[in-house]
């Protein structure tokens, strides 16, 4: 019997530059899901993925409509008897690229500089999607796959997957599987393969504050009207106390405490104050002093201003007293916070604290709870072994600060666990200008997934 | 001897529609001084004014360069002996028109609806400039003017007249006169001709707060970095106390107190809580409780957020933790506050209150002190009489909340008082969408200036 695993690894190595060319092609599509102006590009990216599945001779390939952007689905049904079925999750949409002027090369004109490939979506997560597809291609090229695979590649992850839960609910039979593989959570560093066992949730809001019914001259009316920009600042300022804790009433009531054992394990991660200071470039770190940076990011909820706007922000001076102000405010949630409950807490905060000099409106854009999964499942063990083979060291287990709503949906609707990993790095500038993919790590990622698949060989 | 005054008034009446056509033409020029993209339009507006002066056969017409946009200058030297010389001030620049979508008709496509003419600059102050020129045309058409006139029409009032003080200093001989007429301060209502004897000053700043050195993923880093938008909100929130007073140390030290007599006089102005609520559309008024609205606007300094920006403000959601935040912050100053001192107070506030988690930068864009002038000068008396003739009632005397830096410059550099009046109304939407000019009031304004000029007849 030939050593399929080695053959597949050799095939992947020999085809690495073609894999890279294909990724480059995928990255030229500006599939920005939040922007209606890019709807055609998002569709093109879906077609690109479906096309790729066709070249692999997968079956049951479908571009399935949702209330928003479609899901690309495909199956590999192996001839190996009693093979487990893995649901591979991915997304083909990307974040907006603004501010464009901060990119060294075009956001959708991928450019390799040194060991990195620069483009929006390179790391989050077109590179990860391609790595999975490439690994499967290598496996299929050399023989029968030891596993069945179902792909679910969505187009709305960057806007909080608003239509995915409904899609999964309606397609439970189609998606039936043993567990999911989700390569969207990344690594702590290029030398630290990582499995993520907990993810934060997200609740995202747009808040609007209105004062006078039109923009006013700040000279003629300044002094008698509560400036809505100032009022919004006052409300936002009140949302944290001096320790950096969120002041919304009841906000921490459902937050699961960290046990000593887990705190000890988290403290072993190579992510200290200096690590975070270097990654962010912040002059000094900030946040709840009684928790370490890793704990604050992984196990504590936050409240962030993602954007704020009011009045005149162009060149020079305009003496306007603006009639309204707006902020995008989101919370990262941890087990067992509930996004709808947090929504209520935000409304209550405004009801209790907004002065009668202004009116407010709160729009609830997306909500998704946090998730936490079994660290000893069959899937996790197969991934742990695969990483150890490629990096010659055990992977780290961590809680992650980001949100992958699908992990919670898979668990809640399909009743399956997810193996959360991925080959992106903390300095990949996900969601920022100059997003990039570290190519040596990406190549190791392809090998890891090949090993992962063969770890289910009987 | 013919009654020149009546003849001039009749001429103005007969030519009213042509005057209006000319104003319409002037209003089509988008002379937005703050926007470098409109430099050519600003120049065109200067030429328009110079052209108008030529048609009146004024002499010594010049478009004089400054460090920024030019000053248009012209003289009328009357044959009447011992006539006083009046320096007429105006500006041909306008505010930006944004937000454009809130205009019913184009900001630079003047449209008459009912008694009003809608266009950016109609009220502030192309309409006022034209009224003065039209009045002089009527006077010159029927005989010799009882006064000499010098026009100084600048192009940078809407950006705080940054180059005007230097220009006036360098041209003191050219500008020598008995007093100034400044029709840029407006009326309390269409039935209340108004003379403004005090104006607030202005200090305008752009503040920038920086945290991480690039935009971050709010999931991966939220909890360890002080969000710069939040930090800026916290700093802005701290700039007022619960009473609406400004908290900057020393801010009120030089503020001149109101004497009982002046408070009594101000309390007679028809501008109560209800007036301001109606003008602004604010749900409830705001500000220092121990002062009436008129006092707060006229005799108390303010601090306003004219604009604020950070992060993602487009459609939908983007989970960015922004790397920086910006606010336009300005103070309206009263006698005897000093803009440079206030600048220092703002710097001190940031030095004392900004946390070490962020860096800040304060740009000082413009500064101009408040001014207060003699209520019993010859010029004021001539204007008081002129208004009484047109409206059949005495004008009101008030302190105004707006800033006309030139009033302070004329007083400080040329040692002359200004007669501050004008025929704009509080609901003219100056600096706002749908700026308009109330045409019946504008026509009365032309008549008023005609009377004003003949009030110097020997």
Domain containing A121 — which CATH number? 3.40.630.10
Residues A356 and A380 occupy one common structural domain? no
Residues B192 and B60 occupy one common structural domain? yes
Instruction: Find chain B residues with C-beta within 8 A of A315's C-beta.
Output: 34-36
State the Cα–Cα distance between residues A156 and A160, nearest whole angstrom.
6
Residues A80 and A211 occupy one common structural domain? no
State the Cα–Cα distance between residues B7 and B138, nearest whole angstrom.
8
Indicate if the pLDDT at residue B231 is higher than 90.
Answer: yes
Q: Contact B307/A284, CB-based, under 8 Å?
A: no
State the Cα–Cα distance between residues A279 and B196, nearest whole angstrom.
57
Q: How far away is chain A from the Cα of B194, in angstroms, using its nearest Cα?
A: 14
Q: Per the domain annotation, does A50 fall within a domain?
A: yes
Last residue of a domain, one of A319, A352, A368: A368
How many CA atoms, within 13 angstroms, populate the side-chain half-sphere of residue A211?
28
Residues B120 and B141 occupy one common structural domain? yes
State the pLDDT confidence band at A288, using cuts at 50, 70 and 90: very high
Strands (DSSP E) found in A257-383: 302-311, 320-321, 324-333, 359-368, 371-372
User: A-B interface: how many C-beta pairs under 8 angstroms?
Assistant: 370
Q: Contact A287/B221, CB-based, under 8 Å?
A: no
Last residue of a domain, one of A317, A342, A368: A368
Choose among B215, B283, B319: nearest Cβ to A357. B283
A392-420 average pLDDT score? 90
Q: Contact A319/B202, CB-based, under 8 Å?
A: yes
Residues A238 and A325 occupy one common structural domain? yes
By C-alpha distance, the chain A residue nearest B160 is A317
Q: Is the peptide bond between B99 and the residue preceding it cis, with omega within 30 degrees of 0? A: yes
The number of residues in chain A equals 458
Q: Per the domain annotation, does A263 fall within a domain?
A: no
Instruction: Count Cβ neighbours within 10 Å for each residue of B2-15 and write b for 16 or more, e otherwise.
Output: eebbebbbebbeeb
Long-range CB pairs of B169-173 (<8 Å, 24+ gap) are: B169/B413, B171/B64, B172/B413, B172/B414
- Check residue B85 and give its pLDDT: 98
- For residues B92 and B45, the answer to whether their CB atoms sit within 8 Å is yes
> At which residue do the structure tokens 């997968």 appear?
A58
Choose among B224, B237, B431: nearest Cβ to A217. B431
Q: How far away is chain B from the Cα of A93, in angstroms, using its nearest Cα?
A: 13
State the Cα–Cα distance between residues A168 and B342, nearest whole angstrom.
60
Q: Per the domain annotation, does A266 fall within a domain?
A: no
How many CA atoms, within 13 angstroms, populate the side-chain half-sphere of residue B382?
23
Range of the domain at B260: 256-297
Each residue's pLDDT tens digit, B151-204: 999 999 999 898 999 999 999 999 999 999 999 999 989 999 999 989 999 999
| Token pair listed for B115 | 């008694």
- For residues B384 and B395, the answer to whether their CB atoms sit within 8 Å is yes
- Check residue A376 and give its pLDDT: 86
By C-alpha distance, the chain B residue nearest A326 is B313
B371: helix, coil or strand?
Answer: strand
Residues A345 and A381 occupy one common structural domain? no
Each residue's pLDDT tens digit, B269-319: 888 999 999 999 999 999 999 999 999 999 999 999 999 999 999 998 889
By C-alpha distance, the chain A residue nearest B185 is A220
How many CA atoms, within 13 angstroms, populate the side-chain half-sphere of residue A297?
31
Instruction: Find chain B residues with C-beta within 8 A of A321's C-beta.
Output: 304, 306
Q: Contact A314/B357, CB-based, under 8 Å?
A: no
- For residues A323 and A213, the answer to whether their CB atoms sit within 8 Å is yes
A135-141 average pLDDT score? 98
Least confident of A202-206, A384-388, A401-405, B34-38: A401-405
Q: Residue A306 maps to which CATH number?
A: 3.30.70.360
Indicate if the pLDDT at residue A1 is higher than 70.
Answer: no
Each residue's pLDDT tens digit, A228-246: 999 999 999 999 999 999 9
Q: Contact B431/A319, CB-based, under 8 Å?
A: yes
Instruction: Find chain A residues with C-beta within 8 A of B283's C-beta.
Output: 211, 356-359
Residue among B31, B317, B334, B422 with most chain A CBs within 10 A, to mutate: B317
Strand partners, B118: B111, B436
A29-33 average pLDDT score? 98
Residues B87 and B73 occupy one common structural domain? yes
CB atoms within 10 A of CB B348: 13
Q: pTM for this structure?
A: 0.78
Residues B292 and B156 occupy one common structural domain? no
Each residue's pLDDT tens digit, A67-122: 999 999 999 999 999 999 999 999 999 999 999 999 999 999 999 999 999 999 99
Indicate if the pLDDT at residue A262 is higher than 90.
Answer: no
Q: Contact A316/B365, CB-based, under 8 Å?
A: yes
Q: Contact A307/B315, CB-based, under 8 Å?
A: no
- Check residue A7 and give its pLDDT: 97
B64-69 average pLDDT score? 96
Q: How many domains does chain A have?
A: 2
Q: Per the domain annotation, does A269 fall within a domain?
A: no
> At which residue do the structure tokens 């005495």 appear?
B394
Instruction: Find chain B residues with C-beta within 8 A of A365's C-beta.
Output: 316-317
A348-366 average pLDDT score? 97
Each residue's pLDDT tens digit, A190-206: 999 999 989 999 999 99
State the Cα–Cα distance between residues A75 and A150, nearest whole angstrom.
5
CA dist list (Å): A399 to A268, A426, B199, B363: 13, 14, 60, 42
Choose among B284, B318, B432: nearest Cβ to A216. B432
- Check residue B2 and give its pLDDT: 63
Instruction: Find chain B residues with C-beta within 8 A of A96's C-beta.
Output: 312, 314, 318
CA dist list (Å): A260 to A67, A153, A242, A399, B140: 44, 38, 26, 15, 93
Q: How far away is chain A from the Cα of B34, in angstroms, using its nearest Cα?
A: 6
- Check residue A2 and give its pLDDT: 63
Q: Per the domain annotation, does A13 fall within a domain?
A: yes
Residues A157 and A184 occupy one common structural domain? yes
| Token pair listed for B165 | 């003080």
DSSP element (H, E) containing A442: helix A439-454
Q: Per the domain annotation, does A435 fall within a domain?
A: yes
- For residues B420 and B199, the answer to whether their CB atoms sit within 8 Å is yes
Residues A107 and A148 occupy one common structural domain? yes
Q: Per the domain annotation, does A159 fall within a domain?
A: yes
Last residue of a domain, one of A368, A394, A417: A368
State the Cα–Cα distance between residues B121 and B108, nearest whole angstrom.
9
By C-alpha distance, the chain B residue nearest A161 is B317
Question: Which residues lie closer than 8 Å to B81 by C-beta, 6 or more apart?
Answer: none
Instruction: Give the N- to C-terminal CA distance of chain A in Å, as an integer.
Output: 13
Residues A126 and A169 occupy one common structural domain? yes
Residue among A225, A274, A358, A427 with most chain B CBs within 10 A, to mutate: A225
Residues B14 and B81 occupy one common structural domain? yes
Choose among A217, A310, A332: nearest Cβ to B222. A332
Q: Per the domain annotation, does A293 fall within a domain?
A: no
Each residue's pLDDT tens digit, B313-358: 999 888 999 999 999 999 999 999 999 999 999 999 999 999 999 9
Paired sense of beta strands A418-420 and A179-182, if any: parallel
- For residues A309 and A232, the answer to whether their CB atoms sit within 8 Å is no
Strand partners, B59: B75
């Amino acid at each position: 019997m030939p050593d399929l695993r080695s053959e597949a690894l050799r095939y992947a190595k020999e085809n690495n530059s073609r894999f890279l060319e294909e990724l480059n092609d995928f990255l030229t599509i500006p599939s920005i899901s939040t922007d209606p102006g890019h709807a055609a590009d998002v569709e093109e990216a879906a077609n690109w993925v479906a096309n790729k599945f066709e070249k692999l001779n997968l079956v049951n390939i479908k571009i399935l409509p949702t209330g928003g952007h479609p899901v690309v689905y495909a199956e590999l049904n192996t001839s190996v008897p009693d093979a487990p079925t893995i649901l591979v999750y991915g997304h083909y949409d990307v974040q907006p690229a603004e501010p464009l002027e901060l990119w060294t090369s075009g956001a959708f004109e991928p450019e390799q500089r040194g060991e990195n490939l620069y483009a929006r979506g390179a790391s989050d997560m077109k590179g990860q999607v391609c790595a999975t597809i490439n690994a499967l291609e290598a496996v299929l090229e050399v023989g029968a796959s030891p596993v069945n695979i179902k792909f679910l590649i969505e187009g709305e992850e960057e806007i909080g997957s608003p239509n995915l839960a409904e899609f999964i609910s309606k397609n439970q039979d189609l998606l039936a599987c043993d567990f999911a593989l989700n390569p969207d959570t990344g690594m702590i560093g290029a030398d630290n393969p990582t499995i993520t066992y907990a993810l934060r949730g997200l609740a995202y809001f747009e808040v609007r504050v209105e004062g006078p019914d039109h923009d006013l001259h700040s000279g003629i009316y300044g002094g008698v009207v509560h400036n809505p920009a100032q009022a919004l600042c006052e409300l936002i300022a009140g949302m944290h106390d001096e320790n950096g804790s969120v002041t919304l009433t009841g906000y921490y009531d459902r937050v699961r405490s960290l046990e000593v054992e887990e705190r000890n394990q988290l403290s072993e991660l190579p992510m200290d104050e200096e690590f975070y200071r270097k990654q962010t470039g912040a002059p000094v770190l900030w946040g709840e002093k009684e928790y370490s940076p890793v704990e604050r990011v992984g196990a504590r909820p936050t409240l962030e201003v993602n954007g704020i706007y009011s009045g005149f922000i162009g060149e020079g001076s305009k003496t306007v007293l603006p009639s309204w102000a707006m902020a995008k405010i989101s919370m990262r949630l941890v087990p067992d916070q509930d996004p709808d409950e947090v929504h209520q807490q935000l409304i209550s905060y405004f009801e209790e604290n907004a002065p009668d000099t202004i009116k407010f409106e709160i729009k609830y854009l997306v909500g998704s709870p946090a998730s936490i999964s079994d660290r000893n499942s069959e899937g996790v063990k197969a991934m742990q072994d695969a990483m150890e083979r490629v990096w010659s060291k055990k992977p780290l287990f961590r809680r992650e600060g980001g949100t992958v709503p699908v992990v919670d949906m898979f668990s809640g609707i399909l009743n399956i666990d997810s193996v959360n990993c991925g080959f992106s790095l903390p300095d990949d500038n996900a969601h920022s200008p100059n997003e990039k993919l570290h190519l040596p790590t990406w190549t190791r990622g392809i090998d890891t997934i090949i090993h992962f698949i063969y770890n289910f060989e009987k």
